[in-house]
Amino acid sequence: MFKKKFLAAVLGTAMVASLLTGCGASSDTATSESKETVTEAQVETEASEEASSDEAATTEGSGKKVGIAMPTKSLERWNRDGSYLEEQFKSKGFEVSVTYSDNKIDQQVKDIEGLIADDVDLLVIAAIDGESLTQVLAEAKEENIPVISYDRLIMNTDAVSYYVSFDNYTVGKLQGEFVRDQLDLDNAEGPYNIEFTAGDPADNNAGFFFDGAYDALKSYIDDGKLVVVSGQTSFDQVATKAWDTATAMTRFQNILGSNYSDGTQLDVALCSNDSTALGVTQAIETDYAGTNSVIITGQDGDEANLANIVDGKQTMTVYKAVANEAVATLDLGVAILNGETPDASLIDNSGWDFECAYDTASYDNGTGIIPSYLLVPTVVTKDNIQKELVDTGYYTMDEDGYPHPTN
Ligand code: BGC
């Protein structure tokens, strides 16, 4: 129900959205924050005209403002999140301001201060550093602005009302189980060699992803069927600051140089997401002597990674339909602004056509449990790209033979 209606709206503004991405990416490689803001403002004017002429722009948000703080445009998915969230809130008549903070913590604090000064009624925030927003969100609380922690849990603040994300532990678990099944670990003799690459320690999600994957494989590591040749098995050892592709590549080149240059075979590179998988894939291409095809995992469905999956260079990605994450965030935001105290019933009442769990146990941000709406991720491989990504309308398969996001 949602997908067709919503994607039609998104496709209608696809040119605007791709302009937005294009500007950020091509006009200046060092995407400055001010440039991002200006670009966003231009888009917003156009989109706002569109929304006001749209019949769907009716009641719920009329006269209300939402401030959306995204981490950066340099990691692909946040561009999609920003656009989807903007479309969703505009479709209900909200005034929308979106900021991207160039992965700079101070900049994100300033951006959120700006949104508060702009009298927003609701804040939706994907934090760069989950630990750094305590002070600015105390200001939000003083102004009675509800805060939805989007995708990444914001820590150490009682200003956060709710958390909307995917089941982050399950993302990692799916990666680990995929490796188990590919290698048939319950039956094969092994041993097989594996290396882990995880995400940014400042991102609360990163530990969940790593734990989910590691827990799924731990028994095989313990009984020697899987061997981590580098010995790097703790999250701290395998983490990647800022989820940065080049950082992941350099670390992996070192691992290959120190542990695999004698002809030792690498069987699996378990990477928590696509930006790190991209760096690891590059390192394997340039610095791995073996000729076997290494199983490489990822997460997100970034364009370059999907191309690698089509070309057989990456084996899988865990796809999270962020379009649906935006829908859940909108309905939650509207309920909060209507003075309701949303709980599990929001899921039924909203009639979403995607799976979502209401969780009041898993996410403690240091001030207590934050009630969470957790969507369900999907494994994508070369075999089901068409079904999961193209047939659902999230991507189009272009003449070049590769999937490209419709938003
Ligand atoms: C998101 C992932 C993403 C990573 C880097 C995480 O918080 O959940 O989808 O790959 O950040 O952008």
The Cα angle at residue 370 between residues 367 and 373, in degrees rounded to 5: 165
Which atom of ligand 1 sits closest to the CA of residue 243?
Answer: 5
Hey, whose CA ends up nearest to atom 12 of ligand 1?
75
Q: Give the pair of three-digit tokens for residue 96.
A: 């929308």
28-31 contacts at long range (C-beta below 8 A, 24 or more positions apart): 31/73, 31/74, 31/102
- State how far the Cα of 48 lies from the Cα of 68, in Å rounded to an integer: 15
Hey, whose CA ends up nearest to atom 3 of ligand 1?
273
What is the CA(129)–ligand 1 centre distance, in A? 12
What is the CA(273)–ligand 1 centre distance, in A? 7
DSSP E strand boundaries for 151-288: 160-166, 192-197, 226-227, 268-271
Residue 407: predicted pLDDT? 67
Hey, whose CA ends up nearest to atom 9 of ligand 1?
300
Q: Which residues line ligand 1 (CB under 6 A)?
A: 75, 77, 151-152, 199, 203, 205, 243, 273, 275, 299-300, 320
What separation, in Å, do the N-terminal and C-terminal C-alpha atoms of the chain show?
18
For every one of its 407 residues, what pLDDT tens digit does the chain have, with 9 covering 90 and above? 333 333 433 333 332 333 232 222 222 223 333 333 333 333 333 334 444 444 444 457 778 999 999 999 999 999 999 999 999 999 999 999 999 999 999 999 999 999 999 999 999 999 999 999 999 999 999 999 999 999 999 999 999 999 999 999 999 999 999 999 999 999 999 999 999 999 999 999 999 999 999 999 999 999 999 999 999 999 999 999 999 999 999 999 999 999 999 999 999 999 999 999 999 999 999 999 999 999 999 999 999 999 999 999 999 999 999 999 999 999 999 999 999 999 999 999 999 999 999 999 999 999 999 999 999 999 999 999 999 999 999 999 989 999 998 86
Which atom of ligand 1 sits closest to the CA of residue 168?
Answer: 8
Residue 3: predicted pLDDT? 36
What count of Cα atoms within 13 Å lies in the side-chain half-sphere of residue 343? 2
Residue 224: predicted pLDDT? 97
Hey, whose CA ends up nearest to atom 6 of ligand 1?
205
What is the CA(256)–ligand 1 centre distance, in A? 25
What is the CA(377)–ligand 1 centre distance, in A? 13
Residue 12: predicted pLDDT? 33
Residue 62: predicted pLDDT? 79
Cβ atoms < 10 Å from Cβ of 143: 12
Ligand 1 test: best mutation among 73, 75, 165, 297, most atoms within 8 Å of CB?
75
